[in-house]
Amino acid sequence: MKNFLYFLTVKECESHLKQEIALRYPELRYAYSRAGFLTYKIAADHEIDNLEVIFAYSYGKSLGKSSKMNFFSTLESILKEEKGEVLLNTYVDIDFHLNLCEYLKAHPKIISEGNKASAQSVVLNIIKVDEDEYFFGSHLYGKNRTIINDYAYAAVAEGENTTIPSRAYHKIREALLLTKEEIKSGDYILDVGSAPGGISYYFLERDAFVVGIDSAEMSKQCLMHKRFKHIALPIEKVRAPEFGNHPFKIMVVDINLDPLFVLHEIRRLFTSVKSCSEIRSLYFTVKLTQKFSMDKLPRIIKELESLGFVRFLKKQLQSNRNEFLLYATKGQRKIVSKRTWSIKG
């Protein structure tokens, strides 16, 4: 199975991923799939590290598969073949993940993300694709921008974390891990589409000041926080006097509306509200509504460029549903190219 690529996606976007690969990488040949897991056959000399795929939160080259009975012998064989040190990344049951970490904690080839990891470090992905089927794959740490899974989102998805207002908390957490953007105490954040408050709560935990725009009700965790201000209006009715004079550093937009309508309101805020003019980073959750098609993405990029944004990242997050992250920044850090593509649906 070593001449195969694998892609991990959320179930809501499997069809988008298939269309994206067919249009952008027609040389890849579809092989088989499980829920949220697709494989494609490639030529032996195919270069995979330059792939840019939106609708996959992880992808890489196949190293083989195994049953549960043969799992550890297969793992040892794969590690033996690796020439250097590797980062472990798993998408398995959390109990199995913990047992695996214990098993490998003293392994000489396993390193941690914060210790020795570089852009050229190899990430070993272990994926449970069926009840008795495990898949092994790899990619370079610095290339396809995978977040090393720490199971924080899995916990809230299973209802283990009831303290946060919504799963949007994990969307912004994952996005910031991906972009490596630092949040400092006292930063001003504009959260558009803030209710019930998952994103706002994440920033408040980090001592930022947050202004949330949403006509819906906010959670008590946010409303009672001294650093939070709620503008209880739909975005199209918000005007400059509501904001105050403090310049915002980051704008986060996560609204269940057509992205082009949302883009129009983003532009209005940037051009009419003084405190929005110094925003350096935009985290825009693009909803794949019935009205929206991916051939409109270049228009969105062009509009954001006219507002001063120069670097873009288009990426599905593990915590996304029928949506993806569009990150734009005015900073000088290199993100990814602006190459776009056209797809209906």
Mean pLDDT per block of 10 residues along the chain (345 residues) reads 88 94 93 93 76 91 94 96 88 90 89 70 92 93 69 51 81 92 96 97 97 97 97 95 91 96 96 93 95 90 96 94 96 50 41
Please, how many CA atoms are within 13 Å of residue 9, restricted to the half-sphere of its CB?
27
The pTM assigned to this predicted structure is 0.90
CATH fold of 152-329:
Rossmann fold (3.40.50)
- Burial of 124 (C-beta count, 10 Å sphere; 0-12/13-18/19+): buried
Query: Please, are residues 329 and 159 in contact by the beta-carbon 8 Å criterion?
Result: no
Where in the chain is CATH 3.40.50.150? Answer: 152-329
- With vertex at residue 201, the alpha carbon angle to CA 315 and CA 278, rounded to the nearest 5 degrees, is 65
In the prediction, which pLDDT does 119 show?
A: 72
Tokens at 126, concatenated:
């272990």
Positions of CATH 3.30.2130.30 in the chain = 4-140
pLDDT at 337: 42
From start to end of the chain, where are the E strands?
4-8, 29-34, 37-41, 58-66, 86-91, 110-111, 122-130, 133-140, 188-192, 209-213, 228-231, 250-253, 281-287, 311-315, 323-329
For position 130, what pLDDT does the model report? Answer: 92
Q: What is residue 94's predicted lDDT score, i.e. its pLDDT?
A: 85
Confidence (pLDDT) at 341: 44
The per-residue pLDDT for 153 is 52
- pLDDT for 274 equals 92
pLDDT at residue 303, as a whole number: 96
CB 255 within 8 A of CB 235: yes
Amino acid code (one letter) for 217:
E
Give me the architecture of the 4-140 domain, per CATH. Answer: 2-Layer Sandwich (3.30)
